[in-house]
Amino acid sequence: MATISTVTTNFHRPKPPLQPNTQSLLKKRQAFSLKSKPCNNVHYNLSSSQTTFICSATRRTSNAASDVPVTEMDDNVRKVTQFLLWAAEGVYIAWLFLLPNAPGDPFWAISSETIDSLIGLSLNFFFVLPLMNSVGIRLMDAPVLHPMSEGFFNFVLGWTFMFAPLLFTDRKRDGYKGSLDVLWGFQMFLTNTFLIPYMAIRLNKPDTDSTPRKASQLESVMVNYASVVGVVGGAVCLISVLWALYGRSDGNFGDLAERWEFFASSVGSERFVYAFLWDICIYIVFQPWLIGQNLQNVEKMKVNLVKYMRFVPVFGLVAYLLCLDVDEDV
């Protein structure tokens, strides 16, 4: 009897090569990237079923400037600006009032001739008396002074006159706790030394508990009639220049060259003339500064005009006053 034996052969299929898990690798790759160079070198060890990563990762460098809050940087700029303004005020008082080194006599040694000149210039304020005398109205005879001195004196006063509505509409005026009426009065009729402290004090941090100041009568008039103030002040400045160059032509004050020579001599010998020259330089800086921070007070259709005109001495302030939106400020 034949025996049939069955031989069973077990065929073992070879295991397919290991395929990396793409999604898992992407996650691991992202975890090791650290926002730096990507991991380009990835090796697979098939025998140990492990994946070896070789990454050239570098630590992200921190930007010190970006870590500083904007408000903190602004506060530092504010403090530095205030320091510079107070330093300028100290230099202004020491150099123009106290020290004998500047041209002319200091305040504590002012001569009688300088006092007489200041009184005469004050009587010719805005050329009221000279113009009245020129048309035959002689309530009082105008003092006869050099037209260059009269023109320069009234030019500074005309410019100062127009600063009143600008100060009264300053959006940071509440930082100054004193009276703006008194401040501008001192600036107008005494000296410009009071404007520099205002520019420093207005930079103080706003007091959230303070109530808005009530508008005074002077403030209401100056703001409501800002356009009139601009026309009058601008006209005075223009007349002052013409008066300095051509005024009192029958008074033997010389031609343009001689008048300019007199003015240069006055700057080098008269303290108040020298101080007025400083005031003009201060106005050239403060006018665009104040107007630029108060462009929201200007009529919307004229903001761009005032924005660029503010850098022009005198006329930039005239433009601000003529374009002031009174309904928004009072």
- Is 325 among the domain residues? no
Residue 121 lies in a domain: yes
Total domains in the fold of the chain: 1
Task: Give the percent of the chain with pLDDT over 70.
Answer: 75
Residue 89 has pLDDT above 90, yes or no: yes
- Could you tell me if residue 301 is inside a domain? no
DSSP string covering 65-132, please?
A: HHHS-HHHHHHHHHHHHHHHHHHHHHHHHIIIII-SSSSS--GGG--HHHHHHHHHHHHTGGGHHHHH
If one compares 209 and 4, the residue with the highest pLDDT of the two is: 209
The string of pLDDT tens digits covering residues 100-128 is: 999 998 988 888 888 999 999 999 999 99
Residue 25 counted as domain residue = no
Q: What is the mean pLDDT of residues 3-14?
A: 43
Rounded mean pLDDT of 39-60? 45
Tell me, yes or no, whether 295 lies in a domain.
no
| Residue 22 covered by a domain | no
Instruction: Give the domain extent around 231.
Output: 70-207+216-279
pLDDT at 131: 87
Instruction: Give the model's pLDDT for residue 190.
Output: 83
Listed residue (156, 106, 98, 95) closest to 126, CA to CA: 156
In this structure, is residue 83 part of a structural domain? yes
Give the list of residues 6+ apart from residue 230 with CB closer than 8 angstroms, or none: 162, 165, 317, 318, 319, 320, 321, 322
pTM here is: 0.75
> What's the confidence (pLDDT) of residue 173?
83
In a domain, residue 151? The reply is yes
